[in-house]
Amino acid sequence: MQRAELTQVESQLLSDLFAIVEEHAGESAMEVDREQVERAFVFSCEHHADQRRKSGEDFIVHPVGVAKICAGMRLDTETLCAALLHDTVEDTSASLEEVEENFGEEIAGLVDGVTKLTGITFSSRDEAQAENYRKMMVAMASDIRVILIKLADRLHNMRTIEALPKQKQIEKAKETLDIYGPIAHRLGIHAIKWELEDLAFSTLHPRKYKEIKGLVNQQREERERYVTKAGDYLLKELEALGIEAGIAGRAKHFYSIYSKMTKKSREFNEIYDLTAMRVIVDSVKDCYGAVGVIHSLWKPLPGRFKDFVAMPKFNMYQSLHTTVIGPEGRPLEIQIRTREMHDMAEYGVAAHWLYKEATKDASPTRTPTSCAGSTACSTGSRTCRTRRSTWRTSRSTCSRTRSSCSPPRARSRTCPPGRPRWTSPTRSTPTSATAAWAQRSTARSCRCTTSSSRATSSRC
């Protein structure tokens, strides 16, 4: 099949995908190979030709929808191709070898990472589900793009979940909150995390969702007017000091409001950060300068200033947070960050694809492999904690299955004389998912031994 042979619907889908690619072309560090993306699209059209979704629309709508989400994250050519092909091996007659022959080993590896296990008999549905989670995590450890495609896949499925039976909707929504929401949070991809949570919330608790949505909409115009008025005043003061900034409002998401009401036992009128102000500046120096200006204009609330620039969160989130008594004596939450920090807050690890290397000695662009490696290095010892926490949020049924994994091998490092030597304790291979992640916890405990006869133990 050539492009001339595509139907009108398929041609429009491809044009929509390339429109998103073109929209973000100037923001991405790597140019998308449109010819290769088009070949992947044609291959997917050929193999999904006779398939329909539960909604009755052509199946090709789904892989294109996933690819459009990936394009919105400014991902590379290989990721877009894998997004278009991610269901061909699982749901059609196409084989992984055929994908590799046509598109190369790298794209085939990504497709394999997001493909569920087939041809294996499991004793229960829960065991099969746990094994699929395990496969996804292992693939994610070698290439972070696997989980980015999987998150885009789940997001598009949640957007079209109404076509499924009610019980299936509930199962998918619970899985989204238990598994994919926390993964997106851990990776810092808040743009996807918030939408996943709101879609799952509306499916699981439609009445509460409509109630909160109605309460938020009641005074939305008043809150926006208040933030706009305060923002205009702050912008003039910043310009007077030579600080260039962009100011916008940030609306709190419905599931976040619901969580705060339930976990902290608050009424809706006790939540003051329904709409916050976000200040985007050019440099870290300007971040702290803007905070000084804000605190000179309005009195800050004690204990509400948080510096995530000097001390980033585990998912690489950076920003300055402060809450002040703003105009009209009302509390106002303000976030101050640079453009790079904002992109990291929205897209997490995917933001590595947005920027070119600044130094001449470095390669002109960040490749996906080096991006995954730099992410792992930057998180350091948090890697095991991230995976363990993700598994702890999964369903309890996963912990009852027989899936197992091995913690990192014990290592010892040689240190100069007079300095402590750190070693990892020996471990045995766990036989269940729960034991595996508990074992990872102990793997992070290190024993510090000095040259003296007395040894002391401490946590790493």
DSSP state letters, 319-383 = -EEEEEE-GGG-EEEEEEEEHHHHHHHHHGGGGGGS----SSSS-SS--HHHHHHHHHHHHTTHH
Tell me what percent of the chain is helix, strand and coil, each rounded to the nearest 5.
Answer: 60, 10, 30
- Per DSSP, the three-state class of 446 is strand
pLDDT digits (tens, 9 = 90+) for 236-255: 999 999 999 999 888 888 99
Place of tokens 């008999």: 121
For residues 348 and 186, give the distance between their C-alpha atoms in angstroms, rounded to a whole number.
9
Q: CA angle at residue 241 from 321 to 305, to 5 degrees?
A: 15
What does pTM read for this prediction? 0.70
**What angle is formed at CA 135 by the lines to CA 42 and CA 111, rounded to 5 degrees?**
10
Distance, in Å, from the CA atom of 156 to the CA atom of 147, rounded to the nearest integer, reads 14
Give strand pairing partners of 456: 448
| Structure-derived torsion over alpha carbons of residues 213, 217, 222, 224, reported in degrees to the nearest 10 | 70
Cα separation values, 177 from 147, 171, 172, 253, 429, Å: 16, 10, 9, 14, 30
Q: Are strands 421-423 and 331-338 parallel, antiparallel or unpaired?
A: unpaired
Q: Which fold has domain 212-353?
A: Beta Polymerase; domain 2 (3.30.460)
Catalytic option among 22, 23, 90, 105:
90
3-class DSSP assignment, residue 44: helix
Distance CA(306)–CA(319), nearest Å, equals: 8
The domain ranges of the chain are: 212-353, 368-459
Active site residue 90: yes
Secondary structure element (H or E) that encloses residue 231, with its range = helix 220-240
Beta bridge partners of 322: 334
| C-alpha distances in Å from residue 299, one per residue of 231, 274, 294, 326, 396 | 16, 20, 8, 8, 47
44-90 pLDDT tens trace: 999 998 888 888 889 999 999 999 999 998 899 999 999 999 999 88
pLDDT value at residue 223:
84
249-285: per-residue pLDDT in tens? 888 889 999 998 888 888 887 787 777 899 999 999 9
Which of 16, 91, 100, 127 is catalytic? The answer is: 91
**pLDDT digit string, tens, across residues 380-439:** 333 333 333 433 444 443 333 333 333 344 444 444 545 444 433 333 333 344 444 444
